[in-house]
Amino acid sequence: MAAAGAEAVVAEDEEKRLPEGDPESGGDSEDEGDSDSSGDGEDEEKENEAEIQRLEEQLSINAFDYNCHLDLIKLLRQEGELVKLRRARQKMSELFPLTEEIWLDWLKDEIKMASESSEREKVYELFERAVKDYICPEIWLEYAQYSIGGIGQEGGIERVRSIFERALTAVGLHVTKGTALWEAYREFENAILETAQPAPGSVPSPEQQQMLCTQLEKIHTLFRRQLGIPLLDMETSYAEYEEWSEDPIPETTIKNYKKALQQLEKCKPYEEALLGAETPKLAEYQAYIDFEMKAGDPARIQLIYERALAENCLVPDLWARYNQYLDRQLKVKELVLSAHDRAVRNCPWTVGLWIRYLLAMERHRVDHSSISEMFEKALNAGFIQATDYVEIWQAYLDYLRRRVDFTQDSSKELEELRSAFARAVEYLKQEVEERFSESGDPSCTIMQNWARVEARLCNNMQKARELWDNIMTKGNAKYANMWLEYYNLERAHGDTQHCRKALHRAVQCTSDYPEHVCEVLLTLERIEGTLEDWDAAVQKTENRLARVNEQRAKAAEKEAALAKLEEEKAEQRKQARAEKKASKKAKKARSGEKRKADDDDEGEWGQEEEAEQPSKRHKGDGLLEEDMEVEMGLFGRSGPEKPDRPANQKEKATTSRKDIPKVLHDSSKDNVTVFVSNLSYNMAEPEVKLKELFESCGEVAEIRPVFSNKGTFRGYCYVEFKEEKSARQALGLDRQAVEGRPMFVSPCVDKNKHPDFKVFRYSTTLEKHKLFISGLPFSCTKEELEDVCKAHGNVKDIRLVTNRAGKPKGLAYVEYENEAQASQAVLKMDGLTVKEHVIKVMISNPPLRKLPDKAEAGRASQFAVPRQVYGARGKGRTQLSMVPRALQRQGNPVAKAENGMVQNSAAASSAPPEEPKKMSNADFAKMLLKNYFPAGIPSALVFSGSAMSTALKS
């Protein structure tokens, strides 16, 4: 009777679970007929078929494309292709552990189609696979409820109880979801109790009485077990037990219940933190794990680890910590190996998990064929670094070495070990080097270990010498440590003759530390050599060290020459920039002279320059210097000259140039001030624009934009806040786009007092959670790139690299939440086509930022102009040289002051200057005007050489 009632309930539940429009339910047959007759439905069906075919082809190329598997399963389920759907799910489950949602959908689809007992057994097998992937309360509850439908079969009730007991062992301690399983188990036992009750008015037989007592005791036991576990809503369960039980609750049960309540109060803060936290909740889970580790209950520790992994299955470090706990504490073979297997299936790119798995299999005496099969899977896992393959090979070779009995001269295990060593060397040379352009083992550590095994364990020094000879031919002969490793091996297991031979070769070949090798050779001959050996060693080492010192001296000279050449080039570039500035100033001066002449204003050359002389950089104590060079060049934007403005506009411009106040900065307010640069020169009313932008960070005390003497905005300013925290918050606006350009916001620091301060620093370490993407189309937006990247994990930040003008460079940095997601994205995105551009994706490993060499700076000071000649901060931007370039290019400068510039008199005195060619005033004027007006001399500036000379003197 109980079996029949339970089957009816299950059948009713299954019928309710059938989706609308399912062919078996017949609910939407008319709608289906309408959709089949419509052209839109046929088109959609064809599109889905084409998409299914495309996804299948893509999986045939890359079977590890996780998202492709998901899309294919979704489409096949939508189309009702049950056979293909089952096959697709099967393939995916062989490669990856499936999530709770995928398993539940699969199980519900299979339950609908299972009508016969043989088909039900297949569903049971599917449930068994599902509960092994993750410890999931929902799947266990679904499993138990499905098993109730088979209680009419032989042994059905015992099977249900067995499944419920396994479910309670797995997830019965789950604080928030465990109660549902306990209640379902009690409801099942209550249903059995109801069927065992005698008919009203009848007297139960002794067998029935015994059955009733047994069933009542089972329900009592379930209540007592549940009340001894800290679960949410324990008070309701306790009240239900009081109401159900005819006898008083035992004191032991009450005591356990109160103890569980106290434990629940300790767990509640961690459960509440998990409820309020956002994915991935790693910090909250780690705090919970630490709490349970202190309590020391293995079952609860295992459960909280499993809960964390169910939500963070792609975090290798979490798997590693869990497996380490199982290896060192629980040591249960089935549990340990299952966890290791799930770890490598979730994070196959992490070599450390594979190595732990291999060690665990060896530790638990798994047969050799299974370990070898697991190792082959590891080789096909797709590691992201060449060194990972070296590590997994070394772990496997260590395992094979431990299997060998070296007391025997020859054995099957020894031959397998040698064969594996040879295969490892060949694999790194062929497979790994082809993929990564490097073997991952430049020091030949695998061959070194092979040589040590042959020498120490097999007493085969001949083979060891052959291996070391091979190692040296792979570019290692220049390293002293490699020769000393070989020497130590010969010293321990070889003979003196080979030791001497190795050291003589080392002296000849070593280039990094030859002195060390020479010292070892002399020590050997001092202890064991004859006089002839000693003399030969001394002569060889002296000759070698002499050559080395000579080579080092030449290298030092070459380096000094290169440094000097670089300094000369830098000086030439500096001089060229100064000449461009001078030509620009001279051009402005001439145009100003012409305007003044038109207005009948008196003036000579130099006055316009004096008007421009108020420095654009503020010097001295308490003042800050900031230079801005934009893409347009050092002298601002270049473009077609605008027509002359009316006279009144000229007067206004002249007035504005004279009335603009200098922008001085008080260094005592650096802590509340930020420096803003790379702004558009065309920004209208920068104070208003920037105040609106920076008010979101705090109250703005003052905004001081910097203008040129003509009144044009120079693209940078100082923003002073009332509070220091507002200035720190304003730094977060760095690189924000303002009028199409990235605005630079940096701390306000006096570089006179802090010369080593750098605003923007490059990361100098490998960033495993961040990707570097190149080859992007310039039209690619941040949103479009995010759509591509978020399919492989949770994207925390995307930064498109631009130049100072805000134009994209086709590069981007994408930051993921963890290393696992970034590694998965590299495997799936590298070589992807985005808008007809093939992109390259790699783990971000920024190069070290090149800093100026202090030694070179010291050498440069010998050739440069003395610092004090130009003042505290060197040559100013307005200190122009009026000497023509033709004269400046002469080899020996003349010690003469020109516009405040004094040439190096020491350099002049060291070598007598060459007599310059004498030129008339007319020749000098032609040369000067040719340099400043290569396109031709304006008619307004044609005058005599004497006038030119007079102008220069003024």
pLDDT digits (tens, 9 = 90+) for 556-588: 999 999 999 999 999 999 999 999 888 888 887
Residue with tokens 């102008």: 951
Q: What is the pLDDT of residue 808?
A: 85
Residue 816: enclosing H or E segment and its boundaries?
strand 808-816
Looking at residue 898, the DSSP 8-state letter turns out to be E
Instruction: Say if residue 810 is exposed, middle or buried (CB neighbours under 10 Å; 0-12, 13-18, 19+).
Output: middle
Residue 824: enclosing H or E segment and its boundaries?
helix 819-829
| Global confidence as pTM | 0.59
Q: What is the pLDDT of residue 178?
A: 94
Looking at residue 173, the DSSP 8-state letter turns out to be T
CA distance 249 to 700: 70
- Beta-sheet strands, E only, within 661-728: 673-677, 700-707, 713-721
Query: What tokens appear for 412 in the block?
Result: 């099957």
Buried b / exposed e over 190-205, threshold 16 CB at 10 Å, is ebbbeebeeeeeeeee
The alpha helices in 172-247, defined as continuous H runs, are: 178-196, 206-227, 234-244
Tell me which residues of the chain have a pLDDT lower than 50: 1-33, 35-37, 600-658, 852-915, 932, 937-954
Q: Cβ contacts of residue 890 below 8 Å, gap of 6+? A: 914, 916
Q: What is the pLDDT of residue 608?
A: 38
Q: What is the pLDDT of residue 922?
A: 63
Residue 558: enclosing H or E segment and its boundaries?
helix 531-598
What is the residue-wise DSSP string for 53-67? HHHHHHHHH-TT-HH
Q: Amino acid identity of 856? A: E
CA distances from 345 to 64, 149, 357, 378, 763 (A): 11, 33, 11, 10, 32
Cis peptide before 280 (omega within 30 of 0): yes
Buried b / exposed e over 920-948, threshold 16 CB at 10 Å, is eeeebbeebbebbeeeeeeeeeeeebeeb
CA distances from 690 to 742, 803, 806 (A): 14, 21, 18
CA distance 197 to 280: 51
Write down how long the chain is.
Answer: 954
CA distance 814 to 825: 10
